[in-house]
Amino acid sequence: MRRLLVLLLPLVLFACSAPSPPVARTALKTVGYFTDWGVYGRDFQVKDLDTSGAAGRLTHLVYAFGKVDGGRCAAADTWADYQKTMPAADSVDGVADQPTSPLKGNFGQLRKLKARHPGLRVIWSFGGWNGSGGFTAAARDPQAFAASCKSLVGDARWAGVFDGVDIDWEYPNACGLTCDSSGPSGLDRVLGALRSAFGPRALITAAVPADPGKLGKTDYRAAARSADWLGAMTYDYFGTGADGGGDDESDRHRVEPHAALNAYAGIPRQSANATATIDELLGAGIPPAKILLGIPFYGRGWTGVTADPPGAGATGPADGRYEKGLEDYEILATRCPPTGTVGGTAYARCGSQWWSYDTPQTIKTKMAYARKKSLGGAFAWELSGDTPHSDLLNAVASGLAAQP
State the pLDDT at residue 402.
Answer: 87
State the pLDDT at residue 53.
Answer: 98
In 3D space, the residue among 237, 228, 227, 220 whose CA is nearest the CA of residue 280 turns out to be 220
Count CB atoms within 10 A of the CB of residue 89: 9
State the pLDDT at residue 388.
Answer: 97
Domain boundaries, the chain: 26-296+359-401
State the pLDDT at residue 245.
Answer: 59
State the pLDDT at residue 248.
Answer: 58
Q: Distance between CA atoms of 170 and 177, rounded to whole angstroms?
A: 8
Catalytic hit among 170, 280, 330, 382: 170
Q: Does domain 26-296+359-401 have CATH number 3.20.20.80?
A: yes
Please check whether residue 366 is in contact with residue 344, taking contact to mean a CB–CB distance below 8 angstroms: yes
Which value, to the nearest 10 degrees, does the dihedral of the CA atoms of residues 8, 9, 13, 14 take? -40
State the pLDDT at residue 19.
Answer: 41
Count CB atoms within 10 A of the CB of residue 257: 29
91-123 exposure pattern, b = at least 16 Cβ within 10 A, e = fewer: bbbebebeeeebbbbbbbbbbbbbbbbeebbbb
Provide φ and ψ at 57, rounded to 5°.
Answer: -100, -25
- Nearest 5°: the CA angle 139, 141, 143 is 105
Phi/psi region, residue 95 (left: phi>0; alpha: psi -120 to 50; beta: rest), is: beta
- Per the document, the length of the chain is 404
Q: Distance between CA atoms of 354 and 254, rounded to whole angstroms?
A: 10
In 3D space, the residue among 131, 127, 93 whose CA is nearest the CA of residue 110 turns out to be 93
In 3D space, the residue among 26, 229, 225, 209 whose CA is nearest the CA of residue 123 turns out to be 229
Cis peptide before 256, with omega less than 30 degrees from 0? no
Q: Distance between CA atoms of 273 and 81, rounded to whole angstroms?
A: 35
> pLDDT truncated to tens, each residue of the chain (404 aa)?
333 333 333 433 333 344 433 434 448 999 999 999 999 999 999 999 999 999 999 999 999 999 999 999 999 999 999 999 999 999 999 999 999 999 999 999 999 999 999 999 999 999 999 999 999 999 999 999 999 999 999 999 999 999 999 999 999 999 999 999 999 999 999 999 999 999 999 999 999 999 999 999 999 999 999 999 999 999 999 998 644 455 556 667 899 999 999 999 999 999 999 999 999 999 999 999 999 999 999 999 999 999 999 999 999 999 999 999 999 999 999 999 999 999 999 999 999 999 999 999 999 999 999 999 999 999 999 999 999 999 999 999 999 998 76
Please check whether residue 167 is in contact with residue 187, taking contact to mean a CB–CB distance below 8 angstroms: yes
Q: Distance between CA atoms of 263 and 128, rounded to whole angstroms?
A: 27
Count CB atoms within 10 A of the CB of residue 16: 8
Please check whether residue 91 is in contact with residue 98, taking contact to mean a CB–CB distance below 8 angstroms: no
Q: Is 170 a catalytic residue?
A: yes
145-163 exposure pattern, b = at least 16 Cβ within 10 A, e = fewer: bbbbbbebbeeeebeebbb
